[in-house]
Every structure is written in structure tokens, then in C-alpha cells.
Amino acid sequence: MSVLAQSRRYLVGGVNSPVRAFRAVKAQPVLLADGRGATVRDVQGRRYVDFIMGWGALLLGHAHPAVRAAAQRRLRAGWHLGLTHVTESALARAISEALPGVDRVRFTPSGTEAVMVAVRLARGATRRKRLLTFEGCYHGHSDGVLVKRGSGLATLGLSASAGVLEEASRQTVVVPYNDPQAVERAFTAYGDTIAAVLVEPVAANMGLVQPDRAWLKRVRALAARHGSVLIFDEVVTGFRLAYGGAQTMFGVRPDLTVLGKIIGGGFPIGAVAGPARLMDQLAPEGPVYHAGTFAGHPMAMAAGVATLTELRRRPPYQRLERQGTRLARGLAEAAESAGLRAQVHQLGSMLTLFCSGQPITKFSDAQRADRRAFAALANAFRSRGVLLPPSQFETMFLSTAHGPSHLDRALAAARQACRAAAKMTTRSQP
């Protein structure tokens, strides 16, 4: 049985996470064998320039030597200890020193769980029920955040997945991103029942959409005025946009921060970080329960400390911004010369090429992008050895391992890929 046939036979849809199935671009899953620096190799031996980068977890690239050395040291000393070990507080301290107002950190094995803990903590601390979220943001796959918008501007959510009880989503209010009036209306309607406002301060899960700073400040002010806990989900943006995340880049401080991805150096991780007054509500100090066999896993802690140490020693952010700008400009030029209606959103090492000529500031705008054109684009890139996230609603990630030659290769492929996508839009015109 081939490996592809084996994964189709034994894994649901051939994958362990749906976007890896490549169905959004009507293609087959890519089966990878290994990753090195800015590239990955598939089981047939084809090497790709990788812009998925472990869905944003690998800011230092694949198999970074310092991270690998830390993980190997950990392996030799035992990889799962079961009681508290010294690297947990070392990573917590590094996070506390990076983010303003963070006294304590609680680690989980995934971003999903960290969001669950943060929301439970906010509900426990405020003794309120409701959660205010934003359309197009993603916060993992727990019941209360798997909610889609119903009709109206500030509606109680409807479940976006079979198996999520109406009771679980009923407490979640969903409003459009970047829309100050919608947040005002939600607070007017539900103000004193909103336990937490949960937001991606830079949205990465409807494609990359930047926040309007004034809107983000308004959200901050309204949460404070109504006594709601403002939670920034920086699972993607933490340590990526700046060492202190989107909150230092935009100068807006949340009450709690959820982290993941980069802080584990590519090992499974999530974290909730915040001031002692909130964090000490968690068990064993307080009444809000959270526990986990693999919480604070030594491998993730060691890889995380090595990653943050590297980022502190050699801050890559200016270089990533330059690389990001170069890639964005090149992609935009390729689209224009191919006659493809498109725009590139870019911030630091995050980018999305939207197949749309209209401004995109919220999810309903992103949804108007031409997904058939995007599919043609992503597939054409892949056939030329460049791996883009296989959905219009994901973000491309650069790493410190991407150098000029990787960008050259991507931009050489871009011209032909944009032509393929432009043909698709021409064909889909009435």
C-alpha cells in the first residue's frame, strides 16, 4: 500500500486537521517527509519553499540547530517528568519579561486549550456568562468559540459545527471585525453580562487582516468600562510581529494574553498569561479549574526557551519586515502584470494574497475573494515548488530561514501562478 493510500485508509480524510486535506483548493494532501530551514520535502522527494511554516509555529524555520540541540538535551534527560521542572518557570519568566503586565503564565498542550482556560478564567473572575467574539477570527476548536454569525450585526452565535450544543454557542456574541459601531451595540445590548472579549489583535484566520488601531483601542476602552476581561489571542502573532507581540506593536494592552505556536519552538503548546490578580484565580490558588498530564511538557518548554533566547539574541523583526515587504511587492506586481484582480496584505512576516480587488477589513469582505482563482494560484505555485497554505483564509508565514534565494524562487513562480489564476477569473466571468 502506498503511503498516500495508507493515510487515506487509516486517517479520516487522510489527515489529522481538515485544512491539510487541500480540499479548499481541490487538490490532494501533500505528504511530507522532512523539513530543513525554509524548505520541506515530500515523500516523492520534491522539495518546496515552505510558506506554511508549521502554521506559523516555526519562526526560526525547520530544524533550527539551537532548538534541536535543546530538544536533544531534553531527550537525554527524560522527556516527560510529570512534576514541575525548572524549564517551565524559565519559559514563563521569558514570556513575563516580553509582555507588559504579565506576572504569571499557565501552559497547556495547545492553543485551543489555552483559549478554553482563558475564557473559563474570565467567567470565573467576573461571574458572568457571555463571550464577545469577532467574525472571521479563529480561537481553536472548543465548543463555545466554534460559532458563526447569525443575522444582524450583534447576534448570539449559531453553532458552526455539528455536535456543538446550541446551549454552548448561545453565550457567544459575534460581531464583525474592525467595526466600532457593532462593538458599541453589543456592549449596549449585553454589557453587564459580557465576561470576556476575545479577539485576534491582528487577524490571521480570514487571511491576514490588520486591525484599525482606533477600533482596537475602542474595544479596549469598552471592555474596561463594562468590567469585561479583554483577551488577546496572540497564538499566531505572539513573538512573530514583535517580541512583545501585536499588543506592543499596536500599543493596546489586554487583560489576558493567549499564546501558542512560536513559544513551543514547533512542539505542541499553548499558554495563558496575565496579571496575578486574574491568574491566581486558577487552581490551585483559586477556584477556576485547569489541569493536564502534558501541561508544561518538557520538550515544548526546552524548545520554547531556546527559541525565545535566539529571538532575544538576534532580533529578526526588521529583517522579516524587509523580506515581507519585498515578497508582498513582488506578488502584487506579478498579479498586476498578469491582469489578476488581487491585493496583498502584509505585516512583518505575515502575508495573504487575496484574489479580490475590493478593500478587505472584515470577514464578509474576505469571503468575496475569488476562491477558484486562489485555488488555481496555490496549485500553480505548488507545481513550481512553492508551498502556500491551501486556503484563501490562511496566512503565509516567513521565517528567519527564508533568504533572498527563497524569495527569488517564489517570485519567479508568482508570474506563472498569477497567470493561471487570472485565466480562472476570466473563465468565471459571466
Ligand X SMILES: Cc1ncc(COP(=O)(O)O)c(C=O)c1O
Task: State which residue, 120 or 384, has the beta carbon closest to ligand X.
Answer: 120
Pairwise CA distance, residues 60 & 77, whole Å: 24
Task: State which residue, 215 or 393, has the beta carbon closest to ligand X.
Answer: 393
Start-end of H helices in 282-384: 298-313, 317-338, 363-367, 371-383
Task: State which residue, 88 or 233, has the beta carbon closest to ligand X.
Answer: 233
CB of 258 to ligand X, least distance (A): 7
Task: State which residue, 133 or 205, has the beta carbon closest to ligand X.
Answer: 205
Distance between start and end Cα atoms, the chain: 45
The active-site residue, picked from 50, 179, 233, 255, is 233
- Per the rule left: phi > 0, alpha: psi between -120 and 50, beta: everything else, 354 is beta
Please state whether beta strands 256-260 and 270-274 pair in parallel, antiparallel, or not at all (unpaired): antiparallel
CB of 267 to ligand X, least distance (A): 11
Contact, 258 vs 252, CB < 8 A?
no
CB of 391 to ligand X, least distance (A): 12
The active-site residue, picked from 138, 177, 190, 243, is 138
- Judge whether 370 counts as a catalytic residue: no
Q: Where are the beta strands (DSSP E) in 91-211?
A: 104-108, 130-134, 147-148, 155-156, 158-159, 172-175, 194-199
Contact, 198 vs 121, CB < 8 A?
no
Cis peptide before 359 (omega within 30 of 0): no
CB of 241 to ligand X, least distance (A): 13
In the complex, residue closest to ligand X by CB: 111
How many beta carbons lie within 10 A of that of residue 321, not counting itself?
A: 17
CB of 346 to ligand X, least distance (A): 18
- Judge whether 138 counts as a catalytic residue: yes
CB of 116 to ligand X, least distance (A): 10
Task: State which residue, 260 or 274, has the beta carbon closest to ligand X.
Answer: 260
Contacts of 325 (CB under 8 A, 6+ apart): 346
Task: State which residue, 233 or 310, has the beta carbon closest to ligand X.
Answer: 233
What backbone torsions phi and psi does residue 234 show, to the nearest 5 degrees? -110, 35
The active-site residue, picked from 261, 362, 365, 370, is 261
Pairwise CA distance, residues 358 & 373, whole Å: 15
Pairwise CA distance, residues 240 & 245, whole Å: 6
Residues that bind ligand X (CB under 6 A): 55, 110-112, 115, 138-140, 200, 204-205, 233, 235-236, 260, 270
- Enumerate the active-site residues: 138, 233, 261
